[in-house]
Chain A
């Protein structure tokens, strides 16, 4: 019984018709509800609209059949509506079908006629519903495709890599915004346009290589300089499901910064190698000379050579420690062990450590303590601070001629302890000053030739100060001397 459970609403002012129909339909398995006029029918329908069909008489008190059909149709576009009609109202019934009724059954009718009309109607309703479902599904899929397309195009637009799709005729058929920026000469062209309009023949060559090469999936990569930048260009063929190539996709990744970093890294490594090798070669050279006996066997002369070797080995060891510290800072593995440090006391310690050195050179080393007693502690790494101030004071002594003057001052500048180290030494030119905190930079002139140093001291000093959220500045003039000013936050 395929009619089982189908819900039908019968609307007629004649009790006989209502009950007759109920009997016929109930026997066939329908679930039947009846109403005696349009108003009642609407009330029933509005409370519970889950009906598959409604059989409606045209001539009823209160609300007539035509109006009811109109309203029911508005409430449920899929409802199967069938009109009962007497011959006298056939024209009106025809009008009813225009309003959305499927058919009409002339009164009087036999149970078979009734069921036939209903079944035809239900069949048609099922077909219409199926067609509607298919239509809705297709529209939904179209919508999905459309939104998929707009998603794709948004993604392509946003990708920072340049993207070109080229067909077999060497026409650019797709280009994203980044690609338009990479090839400004063709940025006003709208796709499709000829690949040659990019005015970049090396791209053409790459595309040719892919389009004319062996069929099958692969990637041809090349580093190309385009304009001021360097790009890693990856070109791969577009392969259709049948296996034939229909074009090529070229992706342009900007590797300019990467190349710069690579060059900087290589430069740094070769600098490190040179700086490590120099003291080692000097030591080996001295030992060669000692062993060769060429310079005679004067014990004093031999001792001098050993001392020189010793100094270079010591410098090498310091260089390696500094290099390790810098690397630790750069990789974030350098931990400050902060404690409450008396800034006056730590500067005094650094000054006293350098005292002997200064006295040997006849340099007047003085310390001005101007930091108020109450505000002289910083939350800092004691070892690091000692290294910072010792380095600056040692430098000042190294680059100051005999009988010169080195003045260290520790004072307050707002929330900072301001430590300055001033000398009356050889000083620096502005270009030299600009590079003084760079790794391995050492001022080279006739005054500095015999001053040992690693070229890493100030670079490390600056990094350590920055780890303390402090800062360092330097001022200098050739022949006048230099001043290095450090600020470390007070606690």
Chain B
């Protein structure tokens, strides 16, 4: 990789995850911008011009992360930006959030889905894979 590393947008309403994940990514040289609110993150998409988005799932509403991913993937300007969803919500009644197949993952409009916490190695290798 040449020059400065790409910028990544982090969205999580839990300050600890925001800080630790930005710590992990910054240690690998990425530029990171943090948001604790999905709407604000969405409004900053153009200005921040991230190459990848890592978002929490349950924020203001149960599926804030899903709606953010959907908005990103539906907008021609951002449609190619990879989205990683991380959540502490393992499952809800009759609905397991964890995708069991590539199709389910695509239905979530996400490129990767992780249970919290994501280990630094896993996060980094997935980010590198998606940014190739």
A-side residues, CB < 8 A to B, are 263, 266-267, 270, 273-274, 277-278, 281-282, 284-286, 288-289, 292, 294-296, 305, 308, 312, 444-446, 449-450
Contacts and interface: CB of A to CB of B under 8 A. Distances in A.
A11 B68 CA distance: 116
B37 interface: yes
B58 A274 contact: yes
A332 B102 CA distance: 48
Contacts of B13: 444, 449
27 contacts: A263-B93, A266-B93, A267-B93, A270-B91, A270-B92, A273-B89, A274-B89, A277-B89, A277-B90, A277-B116, A278-B14, A278-B116, A281-B116, A282-B17, A284-B117, A285-B20, A286-B16, A289-B120, A292-B120, A294-B23, A295-B24, A308-B19, A444-B13, A444-B59, A446-B37, A446-B40, A449-B15
Contacts of B18: 449
Q: Which 7 A-B pairs have the closest CB atoms?
A: A285-B117, A449-B36, A281-B116, A450-B15, A282-B16, A266-B93, A294-B27
A448 to B, nearest CB: 8
B119 to A, nearest CB: 5
A484 to B, nearest CB: 23
Most chain A beta-carbon neighbours within 10 Å: one of B20, B24, B28, B88: B20
B71 interface: no
B46 interface: no
A444 B58 CA distance: 11
Contacts of B14: 278, 282, 449
A302 to B, nearest CB: 11
Contacts of B118: 285
Q: Looking at chain B, what size class is its interface with the partner chain?
A: 20 to 34
Given A288-B119, A445-B37, A273 B16 contact: no
A46 B40 CA distance: 108
A446 B16 CA distance: 14
A285 B59 contact: no
Contacts of A278: 14, 88, 116
Interface string B111-129: 0000111111100000000
A257 to B, nearest CB: 17
A438 to B, nearest CB: 15
B24 A281 contact: no
A263 B28 CA distance: 44
A289 B121 contact: no
A289 B40 contact: no
Given A270-B93, A289-B20, A281 B117 contact: yes
Nearest to A275: B88
B5 interface: no
Contacts of A295: 23-24, 27
A222 B119 CA distance: 46
Contacts of A281: 17, 88, 115-117
Contacts of B20: 282, 285-286, 288-289, 305
Contact of A289 (B23, B58, B89, B116): B23
B77 interface: no
A308 B24 CA distance: 16
A284 B17 CA distance: 10
A278 B90 CA distance: 11
